[in-house]
Amino acid sequence: MALDLKSIGVGIGPLEKEYSWKDAVIYALGVGAGFDELDYVFENRLKVLPSFSIASVFDFLAQVAIKSNADLSGILHGEQDIIFHGPIPTGGALHTTGAITHIFDKGPRRGALVVARADTFHSDGQKLFTNVFTLFCRKDGGFGGEPGPVDSWQAPAREPDCVEPALPSPEQPLLYRMSGDIFPLHVDPAFAVASGFQKPIMHGLCTHGFACRAVIKHLFPGQPQRMTRFKVRFSRPLYPGVPISTRIWKLGGRRAFFQVVNEESGEIVLDRGVVEWMSQEESQRRQGLGGIRFDGQVAVITGAGAGLGRCYALELARRGASVVVNDLGTSPDGAGSASPAAADAVVDEITALGGRAVASYDSVATVEGAEAIIRRALDSFGRLDILVNNAGVLRDRSFHKMQPQEWDTVMAVHLDGAFNVTRPAFRHMRQAGYGRIVFTSSAAGLYGNFGQTNYSAAKLALVGLLNSLELEGARYGVQVNAVAPIATTRLTRGIIPPRYHDLLQPEMVAPLVLYLCSEVCPASGQIFEAGAGFFNRVALLTGKGTVVGEPGVPPSPEDLARAMDSIKSMDGAVEIASAMEIMGPMLEAFQADSSDPAPVSDAAPSVEGLFRRMPEVFQPQEAAGLDVTFQFEISGEGGGEWYACIQDGQLQVREGVHDSPTTTIEMSAVDFLDFAAGKLDAMQAYTTGRLKIRGDLMKSQLIEKLFAF
Ligand code: NAD
């Protein structure tokens, strides 16, 4: 029997396989997922593990062995390389076709390699993944063929950046085989002994799934859809119940190497691991192409029993979200008795559409009511991804006649209500590492409206809440935006001229709110107006201003009066991202006035050179008692990723990405070189947006002391 070289290029497939969420969950359980990774095992929030891709087309491998005419008693699964084109949906049908692409000869008694490639498409038409299978045919070498390419993979000569321990259970193969690989070697003790083992062994692909979970956990936690490549060599058998660890080396550029090690024997069981992943932006862009969906997500909409809120609730449910329809069921001015009818009616509408929704009748205006609204989501659906603060009432009155109670009622629903509901929601989202919050502002607040001082004050106060909450949520994946709608509802029917009623349907606002609630939306801290199909962004702009008078001498009011045209000018006005940046225009104005020529540099050091030089310029006396890791993300030509760990007065500088830096510094290569050369002031760089800092802002101020560049 010999390998059939004519099998190269001959098509294999199509292989058809239907699967449901249960298959994805059984697979995830088979590779060790549990309560601490509910996303892989809970159908309400399911994310399919990328390595499910090979388990789902496992039959293809058997076809490769048969088609190539390999000696079946000598075949081993040698390597597996998977390229991902998009996230794997939680159910559907898979259509796989491919072919053997190469047969390599390692030499007499050294075996042969049969390499095959297969593309898998989902029943929705999307190409999901490409598998490159390598079969090691121990008994088929020595036929005089090409030896094949040499793999240059080498484990970095340093400790791994992260290590994930795991303990597959003694019964692990019994669970894993439910995903399709029922070969007796993994279940039948007699067969295992006859094959030269003490007992049934782990499936290599089961260990592969453990490694896949480990790299996601450390490199792009909670976002399996970002994986673009996962490659391993199966190097040693492993018995179930033996502790393992996945050792990961980050290489920079969203690439890492890994190995899986048998912790008892020290043997490498999975070798030459390569994982690659895409940026969050790219992942969001790709998901956007597939349509904005909310499957598995849970949304709370306040005031959803009527008008705009009802519309948001229906549209979110249509696109897969489970919805808490909150509404007190009150009159437009919030007076009189409440009624469950409004919320119930919308829940009935959603249920009739085949969606999932529960009603909540609590008022947003009390702390207890608001907490009950969020609890309703968690008790009913087990999670919370989206909050739209929409409940509203009006008590219009010209200011000189405004009664304290009218002021208080409007504040209580719009401003206190937003605080009351958002606080428990935000706490939950912050912990979950994901959330989308929308506040409802209004043109009355943004620009003013006669007779609405209470309402305007509340609606603009929400912008202040938005501005600061955006900064607090950014590190935790919680994005916050505001919509200022205009639509015909019971609140506005009497104000909007009848000829515009049809044009201004609430349905024309909902697409913006859905976008802001979606995973694909990168915006945070922004205000959008929407009505009648017209959408625009509203922003606060800060004028460039001017310096008045001599440095250090207070100008007179008359000086200011003369300079008022320049002070008021909005030419070249900019958006300021946070109060920390407000010094930016001021420093720039002084710089523009300064006649000092910029210092000229006589050398052109590289960013890489600077990082190499860091240990020389390090000031250990400044580092006593410090435990801090600075991650540097330097963009542009010559840039890259480096991190500096300082502990007990010691410095370690490495290329790559640290998994839990204290502070992350983002700068362009040009600015970083200028900063190191003393030509760019850190404060000025920060206030003008040329230096971005994530994480512990205060610690960033140590950099100038710690390194005498
Ligand atoms: P709407 O009256 O049709 O809907 C508001 C809903 O909020 C009602 O069902 C009401 O029962 C509910 N509600 C009131 N107080 C509540 C409370 N304490 N707890 C829970 N629910 C409560 O009004 P709408 O026009 O759909 O307004 C929705 C939001 O949009 C409001 O915040 C409003 O200020 C804002 N807004 C609307 C427009 C517009 O043109 N319609 C313009 C700007 C802003």
Amino acid in position 620: P
pLDDT tens column, 69-87: 988 778 888 999 998 988 8
Over residues 136-158, the mean pLDDT reads 88
Band the pLDDT of 601: cuts 50, 70, 90: very low
**333 alpha carbon – ligand 1 mean position (Å):** 10
Over residues 360-371, the mean pLDDT reads 98
pLDDT at position 588 over 80: no
Tally of CB atoms within 10 A around 332:
17
Per-residue pLDDT, 86: 81
CB 374 within 8 A of CB 417: no
Ligand 1 touching residue 441 (CB < 6 A): no
Per-residue pLDDT, 311: 96
- Residues 175 and 40: their CA atoms lie apart, in Å, by 15
Q: Please count the CA atoms within 13 angstroms of the CA of 646 that sit on its side-chain side.
A: 24
Ligand 1 touching residue 438 (CB < 6 A): no
**492 alpha carbon – ligand 1 mean position (Å):** 10
The domain ranges of the chain are 5-283, 293-538, 542-589, 607-706
Per-residue pLDDT, 219: 95
Band the pLDDT of 599: cuts 50, 70, 90: very low
CATH number of 542-589: 1.10.287
Ligand 1 touching residue 103 (CB < 6 A): no
Residue showing tokens 């052109």: 604
Q: With the C-alpha atoms ordered 634, 635, 638, 640, is the resulting torsion angle positive or negative? A: positive
In the residue annotation, 643 being an active-site residue is answered as no
Nearest CA among 82, 132, 137 for reference residue 113: 137
Contacts 24+ apart (CB under 8 A), 366-372: 366/420, 367/420, 369/420, 370/417, 370/420, 370/421, 370/423, 370/424, 371/420, 371/424
Report the atom number in ligand 1 closest to the C-alpha of 330: 11
**What region, left, alpha or beta, does residue 209 occupy, with left being phi > 0 and alpha being psi -120 to 50 degrees?**
alpha
**646 alpha carbon – ligand 1 mean position (Å):** 53
pLDDT at position 428 over 50: yes
pLDDT tens column, 445-483: 999 999 999 999 999 999 999 999 999 998 788 999 999
Per-residue pLDDT, 322: 94
Question: Which value, to the nearest 10 degrees, does the dihedral of the CA atoms of residues 100, 106, 110, 113 take?
Answer: -10
Ligand 1 touching residue 305 (CB < 6 A): yes
Name which of 138-152, 196-210, 293-307, 522-536 the model is least confident about.
Answer: 138-152
**303 alpha carbon – ligand 1 mean position (Å):** 6
Query: Mutate which of 300, 302, 308 to test ligand 1's pocket (most atoms within 8 Å of Cβ)?
Result: 308
CATH number of 293-538: 3.40.50.720
The architecture of the domain spanning 5-283 is: Roll (3.10)
- Residues 330 and 696: their CA atoms lie apart, in Å, by 45
Q: What is the mean pLDDT of the chain?
A: 90
Tally of CB atoms within 10 A around 575:
12
pLDDT at position 596 over 50: no
| Secondary structure percentages of the chain, helix, strand, coil, to 5 | 35, 25, 40
Over residues 541-548, the mean pLDDT reads 91
Amino acid in position 466: L
Alpha helices in 527-606 (DSSP H): 557-568, 583-593
Tally of CB atoms within 10 A around 530:
22
Percent of the chain with pLDDT over 90: 62
Which of 114-123, 204-213, 657-666 has the highest mean predicted lDDT (pLDDT)? Answer: 204-213
Give 365 or 107, the one with higher predicted confidence: 365
- The catalytic position among 19, 27, 312, 455 is 455
Report the atom number in ligand 1 closest to the C-alpha of 389: 32
- Residues 345 and 351: their CA atoms lie apart, in Å, by 10
Ligand 1 touching residue 695 (CB < 6 A): no
Report the atom number in ligand 1 closest to the C-alpha of 308: 26
Residues ≥6 apart with Cβ < 8 Å to 527: 441, 446, 463, 466, 481, 482, 483, 484, 537, 538, 539
Over residues 564-572, the mean pLDDT reads 92
- Residues 52 and 26: their CA atoms lie apart, in Å, by 10
Tally of CB atoms within 10 A around 351:
13
Task: Enter the tokens of residue 476.
Answer: 């935790």
Ligand 1 touching residue 485 (CB < 6 A): yes
Per-residue pLDDT, 28: 97
Task: Enter the tokens of residue 155.
Answer: 């484990």
Name which of 442-456, 559-573, 671-685 the model is least confident about.
Answer: 671-685
pLDDT at position 597 over 70: no
Ligand 1 touching residue 61 (CB < 6 A): no
- Domain 607-706 is found in CATH 3.30.1050.10: yes
